[in-house]
Amino acid sequence: MSLPKMTRLLSRRPLVSIQQQQLPPSTLVPGRTLIQSEYRRPGKPRDNEPPWQKIKFDLSKGLEGVKKHFTLLKNELTGRWVGPEGKPIIEHMLEQNRVVWEFRGPESLQQWTLSSDREIGGQSEIYMELGRNSTTCLLYGTLCSTPPRDGETRYSGYCTARSKQPLASFDRKKHHDWSSFNCLHLRIRGDGRPWMVNIATETYFSHQKDDIYNYFMYTRGGPYWQDVKASGIIPFSKFFLTHRGRIQDDQHPLWLDKINTIGFTLGDNADGPFQLEIDFIGVCKDYAHTEEFAYEKYKRNPEV
């Protein structure tokens, strides 16, 4: 029995002509491998451009960036002579209230990132706009707790707004230092929905990346602004530690010297539109509040 003939795998054309063949660009690099390393938000079109084609050389923008970063660096160095965080020590000591975020112009909205369960395929929406007279920020949208039809998600329906990480010169991470204060002061006007305030601190290990301190903020609706004890002023001692939404057994008090971001989340399982108007977010020192941490740790394996 004779062996079957092996078909020739290579063409008879010489090597040189193979190199001269012009292959169409779409077959050179498959589109999927380019974007597998980066997260693509649902709704955004797939980006098949290779990274070297995305660089935009623009002299004026470059000069602006150089000016901005060197100015920030200069302020950091000269602020050091004045005192901590660029303020004299007497001001630091006497400070009882500090407004950290207030919404007075469109640039203040750039400090916030919005997100909802649309990222996992849900149908909630959240938008942020400046309120009337550009003095407040309005968070509004629709909550929809229909889970996405991916076969594995059972619950859904959340909307969140989170502040961006403050950056020093040359895009280095900076932290908020709220160690002189002990309460979070929010002036808000809601529609009766319960929100959750999330504070993220600086962490070290990669598994602590999603460690967030949470507490509830109950809005009361109505035309009046709310910044009273019950819901507008939240002591930092009340915040409890969660990781990816799960409350941890091992609770620790919130350390205020390295705060990265603050956020608001709505996930109250009530479908429909929502609105939250925020006048300012500040921190204050309540002299009467002496509690250090509101939660006790119970023994996880008690002796029986």
Partner 1 sequence: MNPYVLSILLMGLGLGTTVTFASSHWLLAWMGLEMNTLAILPLMAQHHHPRAVEAATKYFLIQSAAAATILFASSTNAWLSGQWDIQHITHPLPTVMITIALSLKLGLAPLHAWLPEVVQGLDLTTGLVLSTWQKLAPFALLLQISPEIPLLITSLGLISMLAGGWGGLNHTQLRKVLAYSSVAHLGWMMVVMQFSTSLTALALLMYVIMTTSAFLTFKLLKSTDMNSLAMSWAKTPSVTALAPMMLLSLGGLPPLSGFLPKWLIIQELTKQELGLVATVAALSALLSLFFYLRVCYCLTFTSSPNNLAGVAPWRLESKQISLPLATSTSLSILLLPISPAILSLTLPLF
Rg (CA), the chain: 26
Q: Which is nearer to partner 1, 84 or 121 (CB)?
A: 84
Q: Say if residue 236 is exposed, middle or buried (CB neighbours under 10 Å; 0-12, 13-18, 19+).
A: buried
Number of residues located near partner 1, criterion CB under 8 A: 30
- If binding is defined by CB under 8 A, does position 286 make contact with partner 1? yes
Rounded Cα–Cα distance for residues 188 and 57 (Å): 43
Residue whose structure tokens are 């909205």: 109
Helices and strands (H, E) in the chain, number of each type: 6, 13
> Which among 103, 242, 110, 116 is positioned nearest to 164, based on CA atoms?
110
Mark residues 164-183: x for contact with partner 1 by CB under 8 A, - for none: -------------x-xx-x-
Q: Which is nearer to partner 1, 140 or 293 (CB)?
A: 293
Of 50, 208, 209, 273, the one binding partner 1 (CB under 8 A) is: 208
Residue 182 CB neighbours (<10 A): 19
Both tokens of 210, joined, read 């999603």
Residue whose structure tokens are 């909802």: 116
Q: Which range binds partner 1 by CB under 8 A, 22-30, 58-66, 143-151, 281-289?
A: 281-289
Length in residues, the chain: 304
Q: Which range binds partner 1 by CB under 8 A, 107-115, 132-140, 190-198, 249-257?
A: 249-257
Of 69, 92, 174, 220, the one binding partner 1 (CB under 8 A) is: 92
Pairing state between β 246-247 and 272-284? unpaired
Q: Which range binds partner 1 by CB under 8 A, 35-43, 86-94, 166-174, 259-267?
A: 86-94
Q: Which range binds partner 1 by CB under 8 A, 1-9, 24-32, 98-106, 283-291?
A: 283-291
Q: Enumerate binding residues for partner 1 (CB under 8 A).
A: 80, 83-85, 89, 92-94, 96, 177, 179-180, 182, 201, 203-205, 208, 211, 250, 252-253, 255, 257, 285-290
